[in-house]
Structure 1
Amino acid sequence: MDTIYFTNFGEAAHDLLEVVNSALPGKTLFLSKKLKDAFSIEKVLDNHTGVKILEGDIVLPENTY
């Protein structure tokens, strides 16, 4: 297997979400990072599920389950 090098986060994040999507098809998938008191949505793979989450959104933990 050849080593794959990515030139930016967006490329790597998209490929990672595509791999996860192959195992969990039909879901809205996202990568986020933990801030002090919230989560920042970094990358989204939207499978048209109606979930309204966008890259750049800030989500408070009390608004999640």
Structure 2
Amino acid sequence: MFNGLADWWDGVELWLAQAWFPVQFVLVMVVVVPLCLAAAWVLDKLVGLFARRLTPGRDDDRSDPSA
């Protein structure tokens, strides 16, 4: 199964490398950019989640200002 996937990917890679530059550009804009944006969004959410769990809240360190 892995050999079939590797052969398929080699064919796609060869086709893309030999494609006309405007076709390559459009494929990058349509496929790669949204994938990178989604990965950055997920990483941002994960880092924010871990940061909230590892650091004390703002209200934990100071006294109540209304008192």
Give the structure-2-normalised TM-score: 0.28
Scaled by the length of structure 1, the TM-score of the pair is 0.28
Work out which structure has the larger RCO, using CA pairs closer than 8 Å and 6 or more positions apart in sequence: 1
Report the structure, 1 or 2, having the larger strand content.
Answer: 1
Q: Which structure carries more helix by proportion?
A: 2
